């Protein structure tokens, strides 16, 4: 992200800036992609100092939406089932931010009939169609699975597929809903469950305003955004189409199919051109299924009279034989009911499936066929499921046969977290932070994967944000993660830079032959972040294929960064992710991250056998670290920045990203970037100033120290700096944990969640001010699994860093670890002086063998120089394999028993040598600043 103002400001104006602590500027201004408007957004929010800070996270009682766990698939859109039982945020056609979300769907709901009365399965202010609302709900929402208890005797379970390493089962346009009813009476009872789905076919789909625009918009996102009226003027919502409905009957399910003619847009996009949506119930012996193919929502009371009276829809023998009109200008819906006789004291389940289907687009050069971006290859815009299924009934058959297996496999990555020693709020936050896999992703037929930023006109990739949000993709879908990194690498800029974006939802994605719809837009951390992520992928997989493939791009990228060094300081100058607020030529974020990017580049160079380059790049990084400390360390914290020659450090402003490089370096197992004494002093200064003065610790990214408030940016209509909570989590909360201020780091993470939870935005969190927007960076929380275990993996060098974190009251801990090729659980018992690493799952690559022969104990709160290395016999990473460390009075020795390797050592205490520090935030006014002049610990 960047602002278009930076080039207007010179050194003279910089002096004024330093006096006023405000005014926006940015360099290399190219095009306005919408950041300025989004960055200035304001939204009411519940930020309360000492507000409610406890929930039963795994059983939310009578909680509100609008957002709930999204149900859908990777690149297939979604809809939310909110904690109050309400269906909301329907985005199965267009899931680009608020432009694609359908909020008002009164014809989509669940209901139960029993004892001659019908009840809605949701909290509502008034009855619907004569059915009274639920009185209580209890919601256990763990993406992508929902357990919802309604009143006393009804329970709902809903899910979609998110199966690690299985793209097929994770990208199905399907949601499963099981409703279980209990009969508490002493006699058998007839009970019915009904599911109604409002027709949304074509709703919120966008297309070019007219065919005359095809030749005008060019092939870039920037040209479309520059059209009169902007992007949404050029691509308004299409007019709704007529739809019809008919009963579906098959061996395993019965229900209603809603459909229209196939869509043939003027311009192909990554929207779902769904022309078929089915709601069906599984056929179960002893259960009766009835359907209501079509009813107008405005006349719903009359249409639902039969169900409210008898628990069934009135049979219509002709409904299965011929289609009936559904939508023709008025809101309409379809419904399916399952009636069952439930024995005394027993329970029974009605099983529903929602499935949506978009046929392959016809993309070709003929004038009457859909226009695409640069290429006429239909696979670029096709859906991934089209590789396996060619009709909606085929998807339904597969879903009916595999739904509960998919549920079990989707729960598999939850279980180690739920069994861990994490507090419940962190279990809840961690699992649910992955929701952007449905709400923001693009996945086409040929497997190209990209993630929309959220807002921003549908722009995808956002490499600067990807630096902190990619961990879930890497850990659970490494193939997709690798694919997006390739999109960037195949489309480097003219000077070797990695670009900011890799596509646009409404235009197209980068192609392997070097064509991009988003050219000429870059920031320094786009290039540096790509190098870092490529190095991380290599370290955690041992896969050198992509390093060899992008040998040239790696060298080009480093040379590009080096060319942005404009002065004697070994620190590049240029735009970066913190684009909506003024920055001096040398700014702390670039100064902090550049040395780490060079360390990552050196890892890549060694892998390419470019050892001379590795030496040079490490030297550049070391010089950058030297200059970072020399010119920006002010004794208490790192200055916001300085002039190009190192003069006039900006000590009046503090950045929440001052330790970004330190965090990134330790995260990959590199050595400390700055001395721990400086890190601690910086963190204390930040906690005493911005964090402790911000409600819920929701601190702005730039703080005016003297003014004791968010810094004012005079260059953008006097906007105050906003909180970027995902960067706050990565670059403040995580370093706090690493440095031993574990309570403070976790407290910040908890309150970032609380603000969204209180407002009903848990599954739709915004980057800027709190609000309802599914922003790309929510999965930042997945950094914490490695941080809390002080873990880092280097497979090529057979090395694992690990040291379990014990909180004050813990004597035993269980910490899950997820890596692209294996999962493990780290268990430790302080009273027994034992630590055990068990491999719980392996994702094989043929005959490739994974092995560890060195484990490094690198405890939290200690410097990297204090880490202790244990050389061990080769430990083969296989499912069920265990390596265990035990205390011994003898010299280090080893024993094996089956898959278990035991290391007996006198140095067991090195694993437990963490140094936790008392929390500062609750007592920030009484904690003194720390001054560090030498940098020695």
Q: How many Å apart are CA 431 and CA 69, to the nearest integer?
A: 11
Condensed to tens digits (0 to 9), the pLDDT of residues 578-620 reads 987 889 999 999 999 999 999 999 999 999 999 999 999 999 9
Is residue 74 a contact partner of residue 84, using CB atoms and an 8 Å limit?
no
Question: DSSP assignment, residue 638?
Answer: B
Condensed to tens digits (0 to 9), the pLDDT of residues 281-306 reads 999 999 999 999 999 999 999 999 99
Tell me, letter by letter, the H, E, C secondary structure of 264-329. CCCECCCCCCCCEEEEEEECCCCEEEEEEEEEEHHHHHHHCHHHHHHCCCCCCCCCCCCCEECCCC
Q: How many Å apart are CA 497 and CA 558, to the nearest integer?
A: 9
Q: Which of 148, 158, 161, 90 has its CA nearest to residue 120?
A: 148
Q: How many Å apart are CA 811 and CA 828, to the nearest integer?
A: 8
- Rounded to the nearest integer, the mean pLDDT of the chain is 91
Locate 397 and state its tokens: 């058959």
Q: Which is more confidently placed, 580 or 643?
A: 643
pLDDT band at 203 (very low <50, low <70, confident <90, very high): very high
Is residue 726 a contact partner of residue 767, using CB atoms and an 8 Å limit?
yes
Condensed to tens digits (0 to 9), the pLDDT of residues 867-892 reads 999 999 999 999 999 999 999 999 99
Q: What percent of the chain has pLDDT over 90?
A: 80
Is residue 143 a contact partner of residue 69, using CB atoms and an 8 Å limit?
yes
Task: Report whether pLDDT(13) > 60.
Answer: no
pLDDT value, residue 235 = 87
pLDDT value, residue 712 = 87
Q: Can the peptide bond before residue 66 be classed as cis, meaning omega within 30 degrees of 0?
A: yes
Average confidence (pLDDT) over 722-743: 97
Task: Report whether pLDDT(376) > 60.
Answer: no
Strand partners for 851? 876
Specify the range with the lowest mean pLDDT, choosing from 75-89, 309-323, 459-473: 309-323
Specify the range with the lowest mean pLDDT, choosing from 125-129, 217-221, 225-229: 225-229
pLDDT band at 22 (very low <50, low <70, confident <90, very high): very low
Q: How many Å apart are CA 436 and CA 143, to the nearest integer?
A: 10
Is residue 327 a contact partner of residue 243, using CB atoms and an 8 Å limit?
yes
Question: DSSP assignment, residue 15?
Answer: H
pLDDT value, residue 370 = 67
Specify the range with the lowest mean pLDDT, choosing from 233-242, 438-447, 841-850: 841-850
pLDDT value, residue 389 = 97
254: left (phi over 0), alpha (psi -120 to 50) or beta: beta
Q: Which residue has the tokens 């035991």?
A: 902
Phi, psi (degrees; rounded to nearest 5) at 531: -60, -45
Q: Which of 707, 708, 666 has its CA nearest to residue 689?
A: 708
Is residue 424 a contact partner of residue 57, using CB atoms and an 8 Å limit?
yes
pLDDT value, residue 934 = 65
Task: Report whether pLDDT(8) > 50.
Answer: no
Task: Report whether pLDDT(186) > 80.
Answer: yes
Task: Report whether pLDDT(200) > 80.
Answer: yes
Is residue 5 a contact partner of residue 29, using CB atoms and an 8 Å limit?
yes
Specify the range with the lowest mean pLDDT, choosing from 64-73, 537-546, 689-698, 841-850: 841-850
C-alpha of 116 from chain center: 45
Q: Can the peptide bond before residue 693 be classed as cis, meaning omega within 30 degrees of 0?
A: no
**Percentages helix, strand, coil for the chain, rounded to the nearest 5?**
30, 25, 45
pTM for the whole thing?
0.95
Is residue 571 a contact partner of residue 598, using CB atoms and an 8 Å limit?
no
Specify the range with the lowest mean pLDDT, choosing from 25-34, 673-682, 712-721: 25-34
Phi, psi (degrees; rounded to nearest 5) at 425: -65, -35
Task: Report whether pLDDT(937) > 80.
Answer: no
Task: Report whether pLDDT(437) > 70.
Answer: yes
Q: In a 3-state reduction of DSSP, which class is residue 576?
A: coil
With a CB cutoff of 8 Å and minimum separation 6, the contacts of 285 are none
Condensed to tens digits (0 to 9), the pLDDT of residues 126-166 reads 999 999 999 999 999 999 999 999 999 999 999 999 999 99
């Amino acid at each position: 992200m960047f602002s278009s103002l930076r080039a207007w400001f010179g050194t003279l104006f910089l002096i004024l800036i330093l006096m006023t602590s405000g005014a926006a500027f940015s360099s290399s201004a190219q095009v306005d992609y919408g950041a300025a408007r989004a960055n200035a957004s304001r939204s009411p929010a519940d930020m309360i100092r000492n507000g409610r800070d406890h929930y039963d996270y795994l059983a939310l009682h009578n909680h509100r939406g609008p957002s709930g766990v999204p149900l859908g698939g990777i690149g297939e859109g979604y809809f939310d089932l909110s904690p109050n039982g309400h269906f909301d945020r329907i985005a199965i056609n267009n899931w680009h931010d608020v432009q694609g979300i359908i909020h008002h769907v009164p014809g989509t709901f669940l209901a139960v009939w029993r004892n001659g009365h019908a009840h809605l399965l949701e909290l509502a202010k008034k009855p619907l169609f004569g059915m009274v609302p639920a009185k209580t709900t209890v919601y256990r929402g763990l993406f992508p699975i929902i357990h919802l208890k309604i009143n006393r005797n009804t329970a709902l379970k809903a899910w979609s597929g998110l199966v690690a390493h299985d793209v097929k089962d994770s990208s199905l346009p399907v949601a499963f809903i099981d409703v279980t009813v209990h009969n508490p009476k002493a006699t058998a009872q007839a009970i019915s469950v009904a599911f109604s789905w409002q027709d949304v076919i074509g709703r919120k789909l966008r297309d070019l305003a007219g065919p005359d625009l095809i030749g005008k918009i060019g092939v870039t996102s920037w040209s479309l955004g520059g059209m009169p009226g902007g992007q949404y003027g050029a691509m308004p919502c299409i007019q709704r189409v007529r739809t019809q409905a008919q009963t579906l009957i098959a061996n395993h399910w019965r229900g209603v199919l809603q459909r229209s003619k196939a869509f043939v847009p003027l311009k192909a996009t990554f929207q779902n051109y769904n022309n078929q949506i089915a709601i069906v119930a599984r056929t179960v012996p002893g259960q009766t299924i009835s359907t209501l193919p079509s009813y107008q929502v405005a006349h719903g009371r009359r249409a639902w009279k039969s169900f409210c009276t008898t628990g069934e829809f009135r049979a219509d023998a002709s409904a299965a034989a011929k289609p009936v009109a559904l939508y023709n200008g008025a809101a309409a819906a379809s419904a399916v009911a399952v009636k069952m006789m439930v024995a005394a004291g027993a329970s029974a389940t009605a099983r529903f499936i929602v499935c949506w289907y978009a046929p392959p687009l016809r993309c070709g050069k003929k004038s009457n066929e859909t226009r695409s971006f640069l290429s006429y290859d239909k696979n670029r815009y096709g859906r991934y499921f089209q590789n396996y299924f060619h009709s909606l009934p085929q998807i339904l058959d597969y879903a009916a046969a595999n739904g509960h297996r998919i549920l079990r496999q989707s729960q598999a990555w939850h279980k180690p977290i739920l069994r861990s020693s994490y507090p419940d709020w962190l279990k809840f936050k961690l699992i649910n932070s992955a929701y952007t896999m449905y709400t923001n992703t693009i996945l086409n037929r040929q497997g190209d994967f990209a993630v929309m930023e959220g807002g921003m006109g549908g722009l995808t990739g956002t490499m600067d944000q990807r630096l902190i949000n990619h961990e879930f993709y890497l850990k659970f879908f490494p193939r997709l993660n690798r694919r997006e990194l390739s999109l960037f690498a195949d489309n480097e800029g003219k000077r070797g830079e990695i670009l900011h974006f890799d596509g646009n939802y409404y235009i197209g994605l980068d192609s392997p032959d070097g064509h991009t719809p988003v050219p000429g837009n870059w920031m320094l951390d786009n290039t540096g972040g790509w190098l870092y992520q490529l190095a991380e992928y290599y370290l955690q997989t041992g896969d050198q294929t992509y390093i060899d493939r992008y040998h040239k791009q790696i060298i080009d990228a480093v040379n590009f960064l080096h060319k942005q060094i404009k002065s004697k300081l070994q620190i590049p100058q240029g735009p970066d992710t913190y684009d909506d607020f003024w920055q001096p030529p040398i700014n702390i974020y670039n100064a902090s991250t550049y040395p780490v990017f060079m360390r990552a580049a050196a890892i890549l160079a060694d892998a390419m056998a470019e050892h001379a380059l590795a030496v040079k790049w490490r030297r550049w990084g070391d010089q950058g670290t030297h200059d970072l400390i020399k010119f920006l360390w002010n004794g208490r914290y790192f200055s916001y920045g300085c002039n190009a020659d190192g003069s006039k450090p900006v000590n009046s402003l503090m950045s929440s990203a001052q330790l970004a490089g330190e965090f990134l370096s330790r995260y990959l197992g590199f050595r400390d970037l700055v001395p721990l004494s400086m890190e601690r002093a910086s963190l204390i200064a930040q906690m005493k100033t911005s964090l402790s003065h911000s409600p819920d610790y929701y601190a702005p990214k730039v703080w005016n120290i003297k003014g004791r408030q968010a810094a004012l940016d005079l260059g953008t209509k006097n906007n105050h700096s906003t909180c970027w909570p995902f960067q706050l989590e990565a670059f403040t909360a995580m370093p706090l944990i690493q440095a031993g201020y574990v309570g403070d780091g976790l407290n910040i993470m908890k309150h970032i969640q609380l603000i969204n939870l209180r407002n009903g935005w848990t599954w739709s969190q915004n980057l800027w001010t709190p609000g309802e927007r599914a922003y790309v960076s929510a999965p930042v929380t997945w950094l914490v699994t490695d941080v809390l275990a002080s873990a880092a993996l280097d497979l090529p060098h057979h090395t694992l860093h690990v040291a379990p974190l014990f909180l004050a009251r813990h004597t035993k801990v269980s910490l899950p670890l997820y890596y692209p090729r294996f999962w493990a659980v780290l268990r430790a018992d302080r009273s027994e002086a034992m630590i055990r690493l068990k491999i719980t799952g392996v994702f094989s690559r043929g005959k490739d063998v994974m092995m560890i022969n060195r484990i490094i104990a690198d405890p939290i709160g200690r410097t990297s120089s204090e880490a202790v290395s244990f050389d061990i016999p080769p430990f083969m990473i296989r499912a069920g394999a265990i390596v265990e460390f035990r205390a011994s009075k003898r010299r280090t020795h080893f024993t094996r028993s089956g898959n278990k390797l035991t290391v007996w050592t006198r140095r067991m205490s090195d694993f437990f040598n963490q140094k936790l520090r008392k929390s500062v935030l609750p007592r920030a006014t009484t904690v003194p600043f720390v001054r560090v002049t030498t940098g020695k610990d």
